[in-house]
Structure 1
Amino acid sequence: MATGYDSDHEVERFEVTDEDLEFGLSSGLGRKRYRASKEHNIYGIWAREDSDDDERPSFSGKNSKQNYSTGIDFISGGVKQSSGEILKEKDDDASDDSDVDGAPMEMDMAGMPKHFGAVKEKKTKAPKGKPQFRSVVPEQGFGNWEKHTKGIGQKLLAKMGYEPGKGLGKNKQGITIPVEAFKRKGRAAVGAYGFEGNKNLHEQFQTTTGEEEEEEEFQEQLAQWKKQPEKAKQKVKYKYKTVEDVRATGGPGAKKKMAAPTAASKIKVIDMTGPETRVLSGYDQIAGTQLQFTDEAMPKKKAFSMPELEHNLTLLVEMTEQQILDNERRLRHEKDMIINLKHEDEKLTEVLHEEKKSIDKLEAVLEMVEECERRLDLGSLEPLTLRDCETMFRRLQEEYYVEYKSYELNQLAITVVFPLVKKMLIDWKPLLDSAFPLQEFLLWKELLEEGHGMPLGSDGTGMDVYHRLVWEIWMPHIRTMFGSWSVRNYDQMLRLLEDWLPLVPTWIMDNLYDQLVMPRLLTEVDNWNPTTDTMPIHQWLHPWLPLISPRLECLYPTIRHKLGKALTNWHPSDASAIHILKPWKPVFSEGSMDSFLLKNILPKLGLCLQEFVINPHQQHLDGFQWVLRWHGMLPVQSLTSLFEKHFFPKWIQVLCTWLSNNPDYEQVTKWYLGWKSQFPEEMLNEPAVKDQFNRALDMMNRAVGGGGVVQPGARENVAYLTSTERRRDFEAQAAAEKRREERTPMEAARKAANVSMNFKDLIQAKAEENNLVFCPIPNKWHEAKAVYQFGTKTIYMDRGVVFVQGEKTWVPVSLQNLIDMAR
């Protein structure tokens, strides 16, 4: 829509009517077209005329835009003219169209003269986008009054840098034209009718914005179509836009530049133009307010204005520009598509190349497989061998590794390799030649094993190929061999298992131990009789300890029970018992071994000491030696208490009797030292043994220190012996203290572990006393605790408490109740 056309107040038909022709042929181009006011429309002839509503000329042009963001300028009223002078001035302006020099006066687009008085303006057009400034040429004779003075004002201005014809101030921004007053017509607020100050002053310091530049450009283009006198006719100027200009400007939809906000836009403004008073935060909000004016206050349209045609033409131009921009975007999009398609083509070409390589590799693999199938036929001229299979699998893993993993080609060994390995092992005797197929299985372990562990299905589905080879080809031969194997012929079997231990998977070896080895050992232990068997049980059972030591614990209660029965009629003079029991000391737990010895050996040793006779004149040490040979087997405290109870009382009594008969103290001393030398060092360090020997020394000292006659030198010999013994005891005690200080944390942890095992040993001892089986159940756990068989009950121990398996849960019980329940 053309500038100056307000569709909110009037809609004018596009067609040329008779009224338009009549108005155009009339001689008063500058005459105001009559337009009824709002009061005329309401009251008719009774409407009141208001002189304030008369139209006043606008020096800024009809189509000039108001800038509500700037502050309100107040001007001085100047010299008020009388009404007669104003009317006379109007008549002169209407009748005389020439300036003071007699030349025709140039009219602006609003029909008003461009210059008043003798002041002439020289307008210079600045480049587009730059602020425009108009220099004002002062009237001839301006400042002539200064010649009647001493010229002090002009001199002062010259000293301050003033140049005639330019503004005042450092940057020439000061005004030189006096401020003029203007009368506002209408009822609108300040700024509603455009600029109302001194036009010359405004033009002298005018700073145009982007919108004002566009407005001036539009006014220049519109003025080319205005009907003017022949003298004022100008050459029509056309402005062309190239496609590049349209692309650069962005078309009609580009966002216009907004004027920079000023400080005045933040001023509080009170708007009283409407029916209600409003408080606004700045003048920029006034621009968004649609003001309603009376018909007299609205600017009048120009003659022959055709806003519809202008709108249509503008619309066509904008559509053309928009089409150019759309074509530009489409072209850019197509170019981008070409680049993307090129990249896609390169990627697809690379994919096709990789696919071609994959197809070639698969064809090669397929050819190898088909060749294996042909050579596996019975009628093949070149039968397939294990070496050919090895070469094929190595080639698959080295040259076609991706296909080998993706298509699980290791499963091919089930069809190709398994029959050949089975054929190789037809005549294999495992016990006689255990190392025969070792190298072959080592080779296929390297090629086929992936470590999948236990089979996922009963049919071997999901099992590792190598594990399946061992399970299906090697394991049947081992099962067959166990049928004819004798437990006491342990050498060949142990050698076989030790040789194959690195090659057989763990779960297969565990199955072999639990299903084949342990049942045979259990049967053999049940049939063993220690009183009639010429071969000690430890000779054929202990070699299995490195392989299956935890599994053998279930055999130990039976072995101890049978050994205890064999010792029923045993006498300490028989040394075979210690030879049979000594190999079991590191095998049995410390508590169970001590409990067994205290029950079956210690009572018989006590009887032996009770029967032992001490005679200083003719001493036989056989009984004494029979007891001391168990040192190292029995606990030191138990052996010490045995001597303290059955030996030392008789020994002290014999010494006392001897000392009371005036003996030879040299012989007494030798006798004392002889008996002491018979005891091991570990027993001599026991406090009970020390006390007995110290008691003997005290008796000897009292005997030589009495009032009777004693052997010469006896008192000195006994005193020397006493001091020597005291010194040895002190040194032994210091060495023991040092050993305790140097005890390593590992030893302390080991002793702590032994203490923690005492509860289990106690249960073991109670089971043996009541002839009940106590052994761990293989591969059975409850809450990370080992489960044991105690008689007829299943138990486990946790923090010194025994739990028995009930019908639904585990129940804690006391040890006596457990024994009663297990019988």
Structure 2
Amino acid sequence: MGMGFNDYEEAKLPALDEFVKEGKTAAAAAALPVSRTREKRWLKQKHGSKRAEVLTADELLAKKQEQGLEVFQQKILDMRGPQARILSNLENLNAEMEAKDNQMPMPELQHNVRLIVDMAESDILKIDNQLRMERRNVVNLQKEKEKLQKEAARQKGQLEVMESIAKMVKQVEDDKLSGSLTLESLLRTFSDLKDRFSEDYKLFNISSIACSFAIPQLIRVFQGWEPLQNPLHGLAVMSSWRDILLGDQPFDYSDDMGAASPYTHLIGEVILPAVRIAGTNSWQARDPETMLRFVESWEKLLPPVILQSILEHVIMPKLSAAVDSWDPRRETVPIHVWIHPWLPLLGQRLEALYHNIRYKLGNVLHAWHASDASAYAILSPWKGVFDAASWENLIVRFIVPKLMSALQDFQINPRNQKLDQFKWVMTWASVIPIQHVVNMLEIGFFSKWQQVLYHWLCTDPNFNEVMQWYMGWKGLFPPDLLANERIRVLFNAALDMMKQASEGIELVQAGSRENGSYAQVTERRQFEASQTAGYSSHMHTPSSSSGYPGDGNLTNPEMSLKELVEAYAVEQGLVFIPKVGRSHNGLPVYGFGNTSICIDSVKAVIYAQGLDGWEVVSLSQLLQLQHTSRHHC
């Protein structure tokens, strides 16, 4: 009644309006008491809204897990209103705003209830989180307990092992003090320890203890031992101790003897002193077999540091002293006999001796003659030992000039052929660099050999005999020389002459000026004039006793290209000499005054070395090049 004083009309609530729209009579609505109406409004939500869901603590936690949220206490600070709000989740963040928009009754009460629900939910999540943490702690503590139990059991077992090892070592020490300790019992005790406690044997370095007991026993075993006379003594015993002290572990490659393994220390104390004494006092470097037999017998048992010590401090000093006192003129045993057996073991260390060896060989080879085969026996084993440059230098300085001189004295006579000088050269062909062999043969052999063949073919010979003679000479050449391109060209040139003679074609001597590509016609006339002017004295014309068919018909045979160039050099007052050891594209190099030239007898061309390299020249150009070179000089 008080509310209706002064004709006051209360505003219609949205709930009543909706109630009327649903078909309920106004009278029924008016008949409701005011408190009953408010109660209905309190209990009812807006039409179509869902009823509040009631969840237990387990259902709440399950719901959170289904949503994929981590179950822990959340605190959210909402500062959008006049006062800061603390929320536990984001579900009811806009609840009050929605309540105001929907004009829900008693929003303060609903807020308080919602806050109480949130706080209860937060407490449930907090307690659940603590429970989870405690359960995890229980699991971790259980694992830690098991781990500690295992560690305790391991340490207990290790302690028992150590007590067993200490007991056995104490027994060995007591036997040593009482004098009853033997090498066999010591070996048996530590072998048993290694078999029973293999891991602890390595972990606690029991091999060092075994080594300390074994050294005095083994010193007595090897007392008075002569390693060079009896290298097999003690091999089996030391092999057994190697297995005990080293086992399947690799050798220690350290160069520090102080930090070496127990086995290396044992060898250094027992074996090395005897080897040093024997190597210093009784071993001679010229008799390598005794020391080699010892090294080969003990190589697998000697640690690398011990083996290197023997090689560097026992063997190398003796070899160096022996090389210093070596005189190749007096000694009958070649030096390679007692040096080369050490190549697999010493390798590059021997290079320190090679310079002295080459120097002494050079002193002897100054007086050597090509007919002396002993030089080949001394030098040939060093071909693969000396480096290529040093070997070539030695051969070119002392061997090639002597062989070249022998070829120049060599006479080719098809009727009565003597092959001594030729065999001397062929003996060395396998050890001389092939380019030098080819140069020697082209200068000292093929020039004369082709000339003899030319004269023979000019006398209407028996071609079967000529072919047999050709094949006989070719058979004297080793396969590596026959495979050389330059040698093949020289032999093919001889075949060309034989073919021309058999076909009745005008015969052209291999390398003669008839091929004519090296000079002009005027120069060809100049050569002919030179020939008629008396240069025939430069030809290698056989004497009447040479013995090949038709020698009586020879009056003025053709000169080869090389001989024509030589005659031209004499006419101009220039020196024409071969430069031994030099070649260009397989052709020997000659000195035409101050100019280096090559003569290709097959192609009949002359190559001269100028400022721009090698080039084909005529004789007039060659003479001009010589004058230019003399002017610069």
TM-score normalised by L of structure 2: 0.59
| Structure 1 residue ranges without an equivalent (≥5) | 1-29, 33-49, 58-71, 78-166, 183-194, 213-254, 270-280, 292-321, 709-823
Deviates more, 1:635-644 or 1:419-428: 635-644
Please tell me the residue identity of whatever aligns with 2:288.
Y
Partner of residue 481, structure 1: 278
Q: Which has the higher helix share?
A: 2
1:371 corresponds to 2:168:
no
1:425 corresponds to 2:222:
yes
Please tell me the residue identity of whatever aligns with 2:240.
L
Tell me, in whole angstroms, the C-alpha distance in 1 between the residues paired with 2:436 and 2:262: 59
Tell me, in whole angstroms, the C-alpha distance in 2 between the residues paired with 1:196 and 1:431: 129
1:619 corresponds to 2:438:
no
Q: Deviations over 1:506-531 (max 9, x none)?
A: 12212221222112111111211111
Tell me, in whole angstroms, the C-alpha distance in 2 between the residues paired with 1:693 and 1:539: 40
Conservation of the 8 A alpha-carbon contact between 1:640 and 1:688 = yes
Partner of residue 160, structure 1: none
Partner of residue 309, structure 2: 511
Q: Deviations over 1:132-189 (max 9, x none)?
A: xxxxxxxxxxxxxxxxxxxxxxxxxxxxxxxxxxx99xxxx9664538889xxxxxxx
Q: Deviations over 1:486-525 (max 9, x none)?
A: 1122111111111111111112212221222112111111
Partner of residue 601, structure 1: 399
Partner of residue 184, structure 2: 387
Tell me, in whole angstroms, the C-alpha distance in 2 between the residues paired with 1:375 and 1:405: 24
Tell me, in whole angstroms, the C-alpha distance in 2 between the residues paired with 1:575 and 1:474: 45
2:252 to 449, 453, 458: 453
How much is the aligned-residue C-alpha RMSD, in angstroms?
Answer: 5.1
Conservation of the 8 A alpha-carbon contact between 1:453 and 1:464 = yes
Q: How does 1:255-654 map to 2 (within 5 A)?
A: 287=107, 354-377=154-177, 380=178, 383-449=180-246, 450-451=249-250, 453=252, 460=258, 462-484=259-281, 485-654=283-452
Aligned residues: 454
Instruction: Give 1:572 deviation, angstroms.
Output: 1.2
The change in CA–CA distance for 1:415 and 1:670 in structure 2 (over 3 A counts) is: closer
Tell me, in whole angstroms, the C-alpha distance in 2 between the residues paired with 1:664 and 1:335: 118
Instruction: Give 1:545 deviation, angstroms.
Output: 1.8
Partner of residue 544, structure 2: none
The 3-state SS of whatever aligns with 1:613 is coil
Partner of residue 758, structure 1: none
The change in CA–CA distance for 1:335 and 1:604 in structure 2 (over 3 A counts) is: closer
Q: Deviations over 1:694-738 (max 9, x none)?
A: 443444455566699xxxxxxxxxxxxxxxxxxxxxxxxxxxxxx
The change in CA–CA distance for 1:370 and 1:597 in structure 2 (over 3 A counts) is: same
Structure whose alpha-carbon radius of gyration is higher: 1
Q: How does 1:738-757 map to 2 (within 5 A)?
A: none
Tell me, in whole angstroms, the C-alpha distance in 2 between the residues paired with 1:500 and 1:52: 133
Conservation of the 8 A alpha-carbon contact between 2:211 and 2:263 = no
Conservation of the 8 A alpha-carbon contact between 1:75 and 1:179 = no
Tell me, in whole angstroms, the C-alpha distance in 2 between the residues paired with 1:197 and 1:357: 85
Partner of residue 14, structure 2: 73
Partner of residue 511, structure 2: none
| Structure 2 residue ranges without an equivalent (≥5) | 55-85, 112-122, 507-633
Partner of residue 26, structure 2: 178
The change in CA–CA distance for 1:627 and 1:399 in structure 2 (over 3 A counts) is: closer
The change in CA–CA distance for 1:472 and 1:209 in structure 2 (over 3 A counts) is: same
Conservation of the 8 A alpha-carbon contact between 1:175 and 1:201 = no
Conservation of the 8 A alpha-carbon contact between 2:412 and 2:449 = yes
Q: Deviations over 1:776-816 (max 9, x none)?
A: xxxxxxxxxxxxxxxxxxxxxxxxxxxxxxxxxxxxxxxxx
The 3-state SS of whatever aligns with 2:14 is coil
Tell me, in whole angstroms, the C-alpha distance in 2 between the residues paired with 1:174 and 1:260: 32
Deviates more, 1:696-705 or 1:521-530: 696-705
Q: Deviations over 1:305-348 (max 9, x none)?
A: xxxxxxxxxxxxxxxxx9xx99xx99999999999999988776
Please tell me the residue identity of whatever aligns with 1:178.
A
Partner of residue 606, structure 2: none
The change in CA–CA distance for 1:520 and 1:337 in structure 2 (over 3 A counts) is: closer
The 3-state SS of whatever aligns with 2:328 is coil
Tell me, in whole angstroms, the C-alpha distance in 2 between the residues paired with 1:678 and 1:634: 17
Conservation of the 8 A alpha-carbon contact between 2:446 and 2:490 = yes
Higher normalized contact order (CA 8 Å, seq sep 6+, divided by chain length):
1
Partner of residue 609, structure 2: none
Conservation of the 8 A alpha-carbon contact between 1:487 and 1:520 = yes
2:478 to 672, 680, 693: 680
The change in CA–CA distance for 1:555 and 1:265 in structure 2 (over 3 A counts) is: same
Tell me, in whole angstroms, the C-alpha distance in 1 between the residues paired with 2:330 and 2:277: 31
Tell me, in whole angstroms, the C-alpha distance in 2 between the residues paired with 1:530 and 1:373: 61
Give the % identical residues: 32
The 3-state SS of whatever aligns with 2:26 is coil
TM-score normalised by L of structure 1: 0.47
The 3-state SS of whatever aligns with 1:549 is helix
